[in-house]
Amino acid sequence: MAILNVNNLVLGYEKQIVINDISFTVNKRDFILVIGSNGAGKSTLIKGILGIIKPISGNVVYDEIKKNHVGYMPQEMKVDSNFPASVMEIVLSGLINKMGFRPFYNKKDKEKANEALKILNIENLKNKKFSELSGGQRQKVLLARSLCATSDLLILDEPSNNLDQESKTEFYTTLKHLNEGHGITIIMITHDVDRDRDSFIGNKVLELRSNGYFYGKTEEYMEEYGYDS
C-alpha cells in the first residue's frame, strides 16, 4: 500500500537545480536508505518531501497519512549545556503539530510520550536533563520525540552522526525493531554503507547520483553495483 508518492520532483535554491526529475513510491512498512555523495541533494530531497522547501516542479502526494503526522529527526540538535529541558519535555514536544490550538499537554499526550519511551527502553531517562545525556541516549530521545508525531512514517537525516560504533549498532537495531515489529515506515539518509551486506539494513535503496538515481530493492542495488552477497 502506497503512503507517499514523489512525482517528477525538481528541487533547488535560487533557480539552481539540486534534485532533477525524481519519481518514486514509498509503501507501508518500507525501510528506505537514501545514499549518495556529499552534495548529491539528500537533505534537499527530505526537505522537499516534508514541504520545508517548495518544488520547482512536480509534487509530493501523501496517501493514507497526513503530512503533519510524519515524524522527522533532523541531522543534529545542538543543545547548550545549560539547556534546562528534561527528556520528557523533549519527547512531548513531538506532539506539538498535532495539538492545534490546544495550549497544554493532556493525559493522552503524556501516555503517548511514555509509550515512546517504553518502546525505546529509555523510561529511566524521563526525568533527566537532555543536555546531560550521552550521544547515543540523545539520539534515542530524539527518536522517541519523532515517534510521538507518528505511528506511520519516520524520516531521519543521518541519525547515526557522532555515534560510536557500539551506539550506532544499537540504534540501528532499534530502527529495525520499529520497522519490523511496529510496522513503521522509515526513510533514512545514511553514510553508513560499505561493501558489506550487513550495512544495508533497509529493504530498499534510493541512491542519488550525478547522472540520475537508483531506486529499488536492496538486493537489486547490491547486485547492480557489485556489493558482496
Mean pLDDT by 10 residues, the chain (229 residues): 94 90 96 93 94 95 83 73 81 78 80 92 93 87 89 89 81 91 94 70 93 92 73
State the pLDDT at residue 169: 86
Length of the chain: 229
Three cell numbers at 105? 499537554
| DSSP state letter for 86 | B
State the pLDDT at residue 100: 61
**pLDDT, tens digit, 9 for 90 and up, residues 19-46:** 999 999 999 999 999 999 988 999 999 9
Q: Are residues 157 and 225 in the same domain?
A: yes
State the pLDDT at residue 126: 93
Environment class of 49 (CB within 10 Å of its CB; exposed 0-12, middle 13-18, buried 19+)? buried
Quick one: how far is CA 90 from the chain centroid?
A: 17
Separation of alpha carbons 33 and 24, rounded Å: 13
Q: How many domains does the chain have?
A: 2
State the pLDDT at residue 67: 77
- Asked if residues 209 and 223 have their Cβ atoms less than 8 Å apart, the reply is no
Query: pLDDT over 90 for what percent of the chain?
Result: 51
- Residue where one domain finishes, among candidates 151, 184, 206: 151
User: What CATH number should be reported for the domain holding residue 222?
Assistant: 3.40.50.300
State the pLDDT at residue 95: 84
Q: What does pTM read for this prediction?
A: 0.88
Domain with 126 in it: 77-151
Separation of alpha carbons 121 and 39, rounded Å: 35
List beta partners, residue 33: 188, 205
Q: Are residues 174 and 159 in the same domain?
A: yes
Q: Is residue 103 part of a domain?
A: yes
Q: Are residues 162 and 206 in the same domain?
A: yes
- Asked if residues 3 and 39 have their Cβ atoms less than 8 Å apart, the reply is no
Taking each helix axis from N to C terminus, what angle separates 135-149 and 107-119, rounded to the nearest 10 degrees? 130
Q: Are residues 158 and 214 in the same domain?
A: yes
Q: Is residue 71 part of a domain?
A: no
State the pLDDT at residue 78: 60
Phi, psi of 152, rounded to the nearest 5 degrees: -120, -55
DSSP 187-222: EEE-----SSGGG--SSEEEEEETTEEEEEEHHHHH
- Residue where one domain finishes, among candidates 151, 170, 191: 151
* Sequence-ordered list of residues with C-beta below 8 angstroms from that of 43, at least 6 positions apart, any chain: 75, 157, 189
* Sequence-ordered list of residues with C-beta below 8 angstroms from that of 150, at least 6 positions apart, any chain: 65, 69, 70, 71, 184
